[in-house]
């Protein structure tokens, strides 16, 4: 019943996306002609019907119309951008097939921009209304969790994000002291079949570090019998997210796992995006480049730029460029300051580092010292998003599993860079963040990190 209602709502919202596209095209036609007399033509009516249907199909395929409970607005924006882009291409094809000459490149651009604005605004308002309703206790889904301590992070997310609308009604299995006051606990031998019948349960979540596949099979069967959604989590899934596929040897399916991104087409798009963003940044921010250089020249002795050998993709060495934020002999002073290192592992961080200049401290807080790295991106040594490049001395101290962070090109920004209190993150957790990025890499994830980086720069969250 819930699934059926969800399909109806999603289909209705996909139709609304088509209506928004129609309104947008109607408006740009009006801008071009100054009247709407031409809208009575047979071809134009066909164009509008085809546009609405095409947008409906695109929105459904791209799942833009789905009311995700737990995804951030940045993902919603990314989906709307993809919909507007592909939809505009579809519109061009329609004009070609109908031999219409009513629109030009300029108005196509207006159409794409206005459609993106209207679609995202509509969805932002709609999603905000639903989130506020869930915070107040409406539109929630009841969840029973079966698991051990592996479930702790997920339970915390459910409790801390009321806007997701998930209400954990029970935990079956290991009793977790952190949630004694928040959850009802049941022993492992609880009759699951009886619980699913007697209580109102929408979803079941199975969370064990080492899953018992026989138990999983039984639970899945129980949930299917009464129409309850079954979800499963295990730490091993961090490696499976985007790197798994079924490979057939004859008719025998094998689950095949690669722990580094292998999508050739997406990686090429990532490189193209890197080039476009880096070139645009260098051109648009050229006055800022000059201004920062002058500030450094007039406030401290030494070169404008700081360059250092870093380790890149698969261990390749390259020169990394930054604006100088420290005194001229900073590297010579490092050995004496190692006793004050606040990071574990081979990295060095110090809150009140005496080597940092006054303007350098501001540059670091805002990330402006990283601007020269756009040239590293243009040279092909770095990407916009990726694990931060380390110095060779740090890499020599890596544990074997940490070397996998070198399997992707290093980036100007990364998951660690946008995390709150990033300097309080342990070195091992930092490395695990990079592994998680590699395991879950996608163009959408890069887009989200870029948006969050812009937010961090505006807030001056760096240190």
Paired strand residues for 413: 385
Answer yes or no: is 252 within a domain.
no
The pair of three-digit structure tokens given for residue 33, joined into one six-digit string: 């002609």
Paired strand residues for 205: 145, 231
The pair of three-digit structure tokens given for residue 355, joined into one six-digit string: 């080597």
Based on the fold, state whether residues 166 and 129 are members of the same structural domain: no
Model-wide pTM > 0.85 = no
Consecutive H or E run containing 433:
helix 427-439
Number of domains in the chain: 3
Based on the fold, state whether residues 87 and 180 are members of the same structural domain: no
Based on the fold, state whether residues 291 and 402 are members of the same structural domain: yes
The residue from 135, 165, 199 where one domain ends is: 135
Give the per-residue pLDDT at 322.
92
Based on the fold, state whether residues 207 and 286 are members of the same structural domain: no
The residue from 70, 103, 135 where one domain ends is: 135
Q: Within 13 A of 297's CA, how many CA atoms are on the CB side?
A: 6
Based on the fold, state whether residues 179 and 213 are members of the same structural domain: yes
Contact 431/402 with Cβ under 8 angstroms? Answer: yes
Instruction: For Cα atoms 245, 246, 252, give the angle at the middle one, nearest 5 degrees.
Output: 165
The residue from 106, 135, 164 where one domain ends is: 135
Based on the fold, state whether residues 131 and 147 are members of the same structural domain: no
- Give pLDDT tens digits for 116-173: 999 999 999 998 998 888 888 888 888 999 988 888 888 888 888 888 888 888 888 8
**Percent of residues, the chain, with pLDDT higher than 70:** 84
Based on the fold, state whether residues 92 and 186 are members of the same structural domain: no
> Which residue bears the tokens 């409406």?
138
- Give pLDDT tens digits for 356-371: 888 888 888 888 888 9
Answer yes or no: is 246 within a domain.
no
CATH of the domain at 182: 3.40.50.720
Based on the fold, state whether residues 273 and 420 are members of the same structural domain: yes
Task: Tell me the pLDDT band of 179, cut-offs 50, 70 and 90.
Answer: confident
Rounded Cα gap, residues 251 and 415, in angstroms: 40
The pair of three-digit structure tokens given for residue 312, joined into one six-digit string: 């890149």
Range of the domain at 395: 264-459
Instruction: For Cα atoms 427, 431, 433, give the angle at the middle one, nearest 5 degrees.
Output: 115
79 phi and psi, to 5 degrees? -65, -40
**Per-residue buried b or exposed e for 279-306, using 16+ beta carbons within 10 Å of the residue's own CB:** eebbeeeeeebeebeebbeeebeeeeeb
Rounded Cα gap, residues 83 and 88, in angstroms: 8
Rounded Cα gap, residues 21 and 15, in angstroms: 10
Helices 2-33, 73-97: inter-axial angle, 10-degree rounding: 60
Based on the fold, state whether residues 158 and 110 are members of the same structural domain: no
Based on the fold, state whether residues 218 and 338 are members of the same structural domain: no
Answer yes or no: is 244 within a domain.
no
The stretches of 98-151 forming alpha helices (DSSP H) are 105-135
Residue 311 has pLDDT above 90, yes or no: yes
- Give pLDDT tens digits for 398-435: 888 888 888 889 999 988 888 777 767 788 888 888 98
Based on the fold, state whether residues 411 and 272 are members of the same structural domain: yes
Answer yes or no: is 395 within a domain.
yes
- Give pLDDT tens digits for 281-298: 999 999 999 999 999 998
Based on the fold, state whether residues 292 and 221 are members of the same structural domain: no
Rounded Cα gap, residues 131 and 164, in angstroms: 7
């Amino acid at each position: 019943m819930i699934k059926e209602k969800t399909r109806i709502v999603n289909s209705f919202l996909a139709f609304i996306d088509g209506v928004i596209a129609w309104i947008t095209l109607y408006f740009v036609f009006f801008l071009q002609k100054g009247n709407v007399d031409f809208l009575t033509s047979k071809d134009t009516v066909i164009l509008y019907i085809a546009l609405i249907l095409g947008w409906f199909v695109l929105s459904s395929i791209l799942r833009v119309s789905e009311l995700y409970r737990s995804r951030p607005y940045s993902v919603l924006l990314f989906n709307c951008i993809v919909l507007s882009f592909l939809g505009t291409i579809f519109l061009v094809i329609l004009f070609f097939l109908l031999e219409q000459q009513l629109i030009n490149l300029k108005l196509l651009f207006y159409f794409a921009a206005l459609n993106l604005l209207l679609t995202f605004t509509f969805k932002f308002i709609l999603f905000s209304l639903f989130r506020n309703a869930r915070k107040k206790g409406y539109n929630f889904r009841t969840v029973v969790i079966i698991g051990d301590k592996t479930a702790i992070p997920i339970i915390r997310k459910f409790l801390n994000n009321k806007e997701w609308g998930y209400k954990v009604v029970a935990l079956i299995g290991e009793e977790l002291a952190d949630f004694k006051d928040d959850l009802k606990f049941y022993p492992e031998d609880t009759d699951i079949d009886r619980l699913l019948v007697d209580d109102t349960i929408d979803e079941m979540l199975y969370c064990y570090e080492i899953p018992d596949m026989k138990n999983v099979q039984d639970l899945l069967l129980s949930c299917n019998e009464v129409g309850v959604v079954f979800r499963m989590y295990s730490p091993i899934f961090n490696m499976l997210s985007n790197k798994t596929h079924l490979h057939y040897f004859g008719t025998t399916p094998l689950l095949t796992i690669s722990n580094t991104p292998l999508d050739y087409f997406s990686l090429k798009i990532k490189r193209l995006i890197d080039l476009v963003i880096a070139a645009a940044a260098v051109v648009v921010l050229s006055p800022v480049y000059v201004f920062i250089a002058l500030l450094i020249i007039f406030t401290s002795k030494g070169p404008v730029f700081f360059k250092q050998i870093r380790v890149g993709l698969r261990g390749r060495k390259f020169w990394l460029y930054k604006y100088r934020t420290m005194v001229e002999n900073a590297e010579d002073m490092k050995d004496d300051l190692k006793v004050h290192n606040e990071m574990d592992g081979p990295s060095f961080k110090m809150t009140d580092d005496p080597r940092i200049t006054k303007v350098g401290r501001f540059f670091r807080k805002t990330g402006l010292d990283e601007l020269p790295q756009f040239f590293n991106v243009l040279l092909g040594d770095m990407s916009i998003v990726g694990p931060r490049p380390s110095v060779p001395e740090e890499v020599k101290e890596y544990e074997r599993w940490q070397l996998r962070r070198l399997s992707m090109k290093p980036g100007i920004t990364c998951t660690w860079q946008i995390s709150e209190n990033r300097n309080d993150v342990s070195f091992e957790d930092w490395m695990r963040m990079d592994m998680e990025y590699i395991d879950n890499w996608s163009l959408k994830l890069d887009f989200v990190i870029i948006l969050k980086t812009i937010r961090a720069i505006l807030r001056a969250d760096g240190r």
